[in-house]
Amino acid sequence: MAHYRQVGEVPQKRHTQFRRPDGRLYSEELMGEEGFSSDSSLLYHRGVPSSLVDARPWELPDQATTPNSPLLPRHLKLHDLFPGEEHKAADPVTGRRLVLGNADVRISYAMSSLASPLYRNATGDECVFVERGTATVETVFGALDVGSGDYVVLPRATTHRWLPTGDEPLRTYAIEASSHIAPPRRYLSRYGQFLEHAPYCERDLRTPAEPLLAEGADVEVYVKHRGDGPGGFAGTVHVVPEHPFDVVGWDGCLYPYAFDVADFEPITGRVHQPPPVHQVFEGQNFVICNFVPRKVDYHPLAVPVPYYHSNVDSDEIMFYVDGDYEARKGSGIGKGSITVHPGGHSHGPQPAAVEASLGAERFDELAVMVDTFRPLALGEGGRAVDDGRYAWSWSGRGPSTTAS
Ligand SMILES: [Fe+2]
């Protein structure tokens, strides 16, 4: 983010002496991206951020994937991943079930009620969409209170933890990048300010408002990092002598933030607008778009649902969050569903949905889409909740009814 923020106390001049009330120096830490050549922040710690007293391996949730073979469009029912009371024993980090992934991005899902351990993803930025429930996300930069419809963007290697709040289980859809996640470049001026045509702007982003200080000794931090396990990942638990939430102040352009999808202002037209108007974020080799409640195409002969499309360079993943998704009527898709539309297959509305959409003035759907340039493979969670029938929903018949 190019938007400068300051929270808590920082010295007037960077890299100068900054002392605690007892006269000792605070530890200044620069947290920055792209080899000191992109956004960064300076954090002032009471302790020494390098200090370790122990380490041990952490076995990550299953990161293995299998190819989408035979190549098929698929319907994955995420709510089936956490039946009954399973969420009561799950947290929003270690409880994640990997649904889909490739070398650029992993999508996982969790329904949880427990607080996560302190966590640091050193493999890339995370964008966690809150489907339902509320939580406090405590970070080394301060806390964010989040709820249904919030994207929570956590820069790579941000130490944080998730604390579900309220009576309802927390449902989170985690998009983990191997890169950074940011607003689309075309929404920004050459210096990084949101332009007038962007569907959201700086005022819509919520950032930590004050330092978050905690006490503790020999505190565990679960670190996901590059390694030789499935997907190229491994985990380590670092034990640090003092609580890592010891930052009395920070400033800069790198920090976690939340964005409520309800603050995304949809762009509409007389005829169908292409998916890039729905884009909210981008990472290396993937984009995140959202389809929000909106007026639809108002040409007198408009067809409001999409045309069939062969987006030849992409796999397209749609997560249906709320409302009725008009283009998928008749396919069995409901809230909590994902559709996987892979490159090499032309997809579009279920046939009856086209006529049914004519004359519509509004769509009250809410969906989050991830398009990737590299093919997505199925994680264990995705394989577990594949409905096995979606591919045949356009024709109305599948292999068991094929004439020989
Ligand atoms: Fe599509």
Q: Which DSSP string corresponds to 219-237?
A: EEEEEEEE-SSGGGEEEEE
For 335-349, the pLDDT digits (tens) are 999 999 999 999 999
Q: Which H or E run includes 380?
A: helix 380-384
pLDDT band at 147 (very low <50, low <70, confident <90, very high): very high
Q: Could you tell me the distance, in angstroms and rounded to a whole number, from the CA of residue 310 to the centre of ligand 1?
A: 8
> Does pLDDT of 119 surpass 80?
yes
Q: Could you tell me the distance, in angstroms and rounded to a whole number, from the CA of residue 348 to the centre of ligand 1?
A: 6
Question: Residue 402: its pLDDT value, please?
Answer: 56
Q: Could you tell me the distance, in angstroms and rounded to a whole number, from the CA of residue 76 to the centre of ligand 1?
A: 16
Q: Could you tell me the distance, in angstroms and rounded to a whole number, from the CA of residue 392 to the centre of ligand 1?
A: 17
Q: Could you tell me the distance, in angstroms and rounded to a whole number, from the CA of residue 47 to the centre of ligand 1?
A: 50
For 300-350, the pLDDT digits (tens) are 999 999 999 999 999 999 999 999 876 677 678 999 999 999 999 999 998
The residue among 2, 4, 32 whose CA lies nearest residue 187 is: 2
SS3 8: strand
> Does pLDDT of 284 surpass 80?
yes
Q: Provide the greatest CA pair distance for the chain.
A: 85
Residue 89 burial class via C-beta count within 10 angstroms: exposed 0-12, middle 13-18, buried 19 and up: exposed
Q: Could you tell me the distance, in angstroms and rounded to a whole number, from the CA of residue 306 to the centre of ligand 1?
A: 8
Q: Could you tell me the distance, in angstroms and rounded to a whole number, from the CA of residue 46 to the centre of ligand 1?
A: 50
Range picked from 205-214, 319-328, 347-356 for highest mean pLDDT: 205-214
**Other beta carbons within 10 Å of 46:** 15
Q: Could you tell me the distance, in angstroms and rounded to a whole number, from the CA of residue 202 to the centre of ligand 1?
A: 29
Q: Could you tell me the distance, in angstroms and rounded to a whole number, from the CA of residue 77 to the centre of ligand 1?
A: 18
Residues 130 and 175: beta-carbon distance below 8 Å: no
For 25-45, the pLDDT digits (tens) are 999 999 999 999 999 999 999
Q: Could you tell me the distance, in angstroms and rounded to a whole number, from the CA of residue 78 to the centre of ligand 1?
A: 19
Q: Which domains are assigned to the chain?
A: 51-71+83-245+256-261 (2.60.120.10), 265-393 (2.60.120.10)
Q: Could you tell me the distance, in angstroms and rounded to a whole number, from the CA of residue 153 to the centre of ligand 1?
A: 24
Using a CB cutoff of 8 Å and minimum separation of 24, what contacts does 36-41 make?
39/1, 39/2, 39/252, 39/253, 39/254, 40/252, 40/253, 40/254, 41/141, 41/250, 41/251, 41/252, 41/253, 41/254, 41/255
SS3 23: coil
Q: Could you tell me the distance, in angstroms and rounded to a whole number, from the CA of residue 9 to the centre of ligand 1?
A: 47
What is the pTM for the complete model shown?
A: 0.97
